[in-house]
Amino acid sequence: MNTPISITAIASISPLGFNKDTIWKNYTSDTHFFTTKDGNLVAELAIESKQEIEKLRHSNSKYKQLDDSVLFGIYAARKAVKEAGWSPESNFGINIGSSRGATGLFENYYESFLDKNKAETLSSPTTTLGNISSWVAHDLQTKGPEISHSITCSTALHALLNGMAWLNSGMCDKFLVGGSESPLTPFTIAQMQALKIYARKHHEFPCKALDFNKSENTMILSEAAAIACLEKGTKDNALAIVIGFGYGTELLEHNASLSTNAECFQRSMSMALGDTNPNEIDIIITHTPGTIKGDIAEYNAIKQIFCNKVPALTTNKIQVGHSLGASGMLSIEMAILMLNHQEFIDIPYLDQPTPKKISKIMINAVGFGGNAVSVVLSK
C-alpha distances in Å from residue 186, one per residue of 95, 126, 176: 28, 19, 31
pLDDT band (50, 70, 90) for residue 240? very high
Asked if residue 260 lies in contact with residue 300, where contact means CB atoms within 8 angstroms, the answer is: yes
Domain match, 343 and 205 both: no
* pLDDT for the residue numbered 2: 74
Cβ atoms 5, 244 nearer than 8 A: no
177 & 123 share domain:
yes
pLDDT of residue 352: 95
Which pLDDT band holds residue 136 (cuts at 50, 70, 90)? very high
Do the beta carbons of residue 326 and residue 70 sit within 8 Å? no
Give the percent of the chain with pLDDT over 70.
98
Among residues 196, 211, 232, which one ends one of the domains? 232
Per-residue pLDDT tens over the stretch 244-299 = 999 999 877 655 567 888 999 999 999 999 999 999 999 999 999 999 999 999 99
Whether residues 226 and 249 fall in one domain: no
Residues 61 and 31 in one domain: yes
pLDDT score recorded for residue 30: 85
Q: Which pLDDT score, from 0 to 100, does residue 257 have?
A: 63
Strands 283-285, 312-314: parallel, antiparallel or unpaired by DSSP? parallel
Whether residues 203 and 158 fall in one domain: yes
pLDDT at 244: 97
Q: Are residues 268 and 366 in the same domain?
A: yes
Q: Which of 207, 232, 257 is at the close of a domain?
A: 232
Residue 168's alpha-carbon distances to 116, 157, 373, in angstroms, are 50, 17, 18
Domain hosting residue 46, numbered range: 5-232
Determine the Cα–Cα distance for residues 282 and 280; give it in Å rounded to an integer: 6
- For residue 256, what pLDDT is reported? 57
Whether the full predicted model's pTM is greater than 0.75, yes or no, is: yes
Residues 127 and 227 in one domain: yes
Is 226 in the same domain as 244?
no
In whole angstroms, give the CA distance from residue 276 to residue 281.
Answer: 8
Report the pLDDT averaged over residues 12-16: 98
Q: Which of 180, 137, 138 is nearest to 159 (CA)?
A: 180
**132 has a pLDDT exceeding 60:** yes
Residue that is last in its domain, among 232, 267, 302: 232
Same domain, 356 and 246: yes
What pLDDT does 254 receive? 59
Distance between CA 218 and CA 211 in Å, rounded?
Answer: 10
Confidence of residue 129 (pLDDT cuts 50, 70, 90): confident
User: Does one domain contain both 214 and 301?
Assistant: no
Model pLDDT, residue 255: 57
**Structure confidence at residue 201 (pLDDT):** 87
How far is residue 151's CA from residue 99's CA, in Å, rounded to a whole number? 6
pLDDT in tens, 67-109: 999 999 999 999 999 999 999 888 899 999 999 999 999 999 9
Task: Annotate 207-229 with three-state secondary structure.
Answer: CCCCCCCCCCCCECEECEEEEEE
What is the predicted pLDDT for the residue at 369? 74
Looking at the fold, whether 102 and 151 belong to one and the same domain comes out as: yes
| CATH code for the domain in which residue 270 is found | 3.40.47.10
Cα separation, 120 vs 344, in Å, equals 49
Q: Could you report the per-residue pLDDT of 324-375, keeping only the tens digit for each?
A: 999 999 999 999 999 999 999 999 999 999 999 999 999 999 998 789 999 9
Whether residue 155 is found in the same domain as residue 196: yes
Q: Is the dihedral of CA 33, 38, 212, 301 positive or negative?
A: negative
CA distance 3 to 193: 43
Domain total of the chain: 2
